[in-house]
Structure 1
């Protein structure tokens, strides 16, 4: 119980990219690391953390301490019909353990009884928020085909490609396991974007929405980028359907490549700026070219 409460606290205290916090947890464990930060345990020297880095980190974390109340956050998520997963739990997605910066825990809302499928039964679809009609149609086809095969579709609940992927997965669901999993960039006490609230409710009824951020946390640009690694970690293959030359979807693909997961991309028109990022991945050899859900399922099975 101490580990669960500590990890809940750390999701509010440490940023995902905070290397000092991660080193502290890696050395001491979550509970002792939290006691160091709160001053309940004396600070001492560590082999993999310099005294200077630790002192700077303690100053950085200090303003956040008054807002750290893991019991409150756990009560809030329970009131919302959700929960908090930590490594070792029955439903903890072990694919996240492949990440060098795995989340300290995972807040969730939805139907946890169906569990979270292993990476070889999950495919991530991601891409532009301002998707074209072509991108929307291809996404719907791929997501529906995957769902019909019992493959869970993972995406980010954003407008555009993400939303089309979630909706088509729900429509194609066979009822075998969660149809789709959405990874949010903020706390699960509110749906973001608010325009996808109905979609979020449908996902919770037939799948899961997860986040490494505790309730009431606002989504930020950095948190959107950080959640890309969770999308990649949950899925055995990450497919970029439409993406501009510089796109958050390419960041998700990079995370997948970093942990040796399959990366795929859908080609588009050479005249479309929305496909420039996909063509870049294919040209650089970073992604396999796919055109439908069947090819993506074959890649997932390989």
Structure 2
């Protein structure tokens, strides 16, 4: 088993926020860490892992051992017309390395020919699933303008703002760069939400859909929140167009701030609950106020 196969296995065996698993990989590397986690290699004393934490982790991981089949997962993603990226690969997005909990690897489907652009050539645009007509119009125009400038639009393939961001970018694409990338919360053998299947097909034709989750893993609320850190790390700026006060989209902005990326927000009506989260960002976090693609492109150019 090589490092690629081991990392493919780890995407199924470890949760992204499993600190013991991450400490094990840092201490041993992916291959040896997997052997310890699956019981193929006896555990021993580690400098940064207590015996109690390792014992608890081994108990937690034990039920997953029977599901670990990286060769099958790699064959599945190949049948889907995709692949699996790991650190050091030509197309590995080095922006992910800024995350303290960077993915062990990235599953992808779509057109990898243009690769994944550097962070200074990409903007994450996201927000509410129940977007208003105002949010839809601003998002579509912004994404279209960014794509026309040769910038990549990162979003999450959800309903509402996400879908408008992807569609706007596809409409503005010049065909010379990856216009849009969707970051999924589950395995790439299924499209979620299913109502965006046609949009997913259009993205794959010229862009990419990526996920840290292996084929077969269902999207869950926790995984939606986890994937937001990937969106933030891929982009030089994360722009929230519409978000309610407690919207999950705000976590993308939080992750961006945590790793030193820019955050931007589009203001809305003071009477609109859909803009309350954006106003909170502008008031409390020092987010840039933006209204169009030119504003976002200017932030990326800094």
SS in 1 for 2:144: helix
TM-superposition CA deviations, 1:141-197 (whole Å, max 9, x none)? 100010000000000000000000000100000112111000000000011100000
Quick check: 2:38–2:61 contact (8 Å CA) kept in 1?
no
Question: In structure 2, what is the Cα distance between the partners aligned to 1:288 and 1:176?
Answer: 29
Residue 228 (structure 2) pairs with residue 228 (structure 1): yes
Quick check: 2:145–2:294 contact (8 Å CA) kept in 1?
yes
SS in 2 for 1:242: coil
SS in 2 for 1:153: strand
Aligned partner of 1:85 in structure 2 is 85
1:166-205 alignment runs, 5 A limit? 166-205=166-205
What's the offset of the Cα at 1:58? 0.4
TM-superposition CA deviations, 1:66-94 (whole Å, max 9, x none)? 00000000000001100000000000000
Residue 276 (structure 2) pairs with residue 276 (structure 1): yes
Aligned length: 302
Aligned partner of 1:117 in structure 2 is 117
Question: In structure 1, what is the Cα distance between the partners aligned to 2:41 and 2:286?
Answer: 46
What's the offset of the Cα at 1:10? 0.3
Residue 177 (structure 2) pairs with residue 149 (structure 1): no
Give 4+ residue runs of structure 1 displaced > 2 Å after superposition.
none
What's the offset of the Cα at 1:204? 0.2
Aligned partner of 2:300 in structure 1 is 300
When structure 1 is superposed on structure 2, of 38-47 and 149-158 the one drifting more is 38-47
5+ residue gaps, structure 2, are none
What's the offset of the Cα at 1:285? 3.3
1:49-128 alignment runs, 5 A limit? 49-128=49-128
SS in 1 for 2:249: helix
Quick check: 2:110–2:205 contact (8 Å CA) kept in 1?
yes
Quick check: 2:186–2:217 contact (8 Å CA) kept in 1?
yes
SS in 2 for 1:174: coil
TM-score by length of 1: 0.99
Question: In structure 2, what is the Cα distance between the partners aligned to 1:255 and 1:190?
Answer: 26
What's the offset of the Cα at 1:233? 0.6
Question: In structure 2, what is the Cα distance between the partners aligned to 1:286 and 1:86?
Answer: 34
Aligned partner of 2:261 in structure 1 is 261
SS in 1 for 2:150: coil
How big is the alpha-carbon RMSD for the aligned residues of Structure 1 and Structure 2? Answer: 0.6
SS in 1 for 2:125: strand
What's the offset of the Cα at 1:38? 1.5
What's the offset of the Cα at 1:286? 3.2
Aligned partner of 1:10 in structure 2 is 10
Question: In structure 2, what is the Cα distance between the partners aligned to 1:16 and 1:175?
Answer: 34
Aligned partner of 1:135 in structure 2 is 135
SS in 1 for 2:209: strand
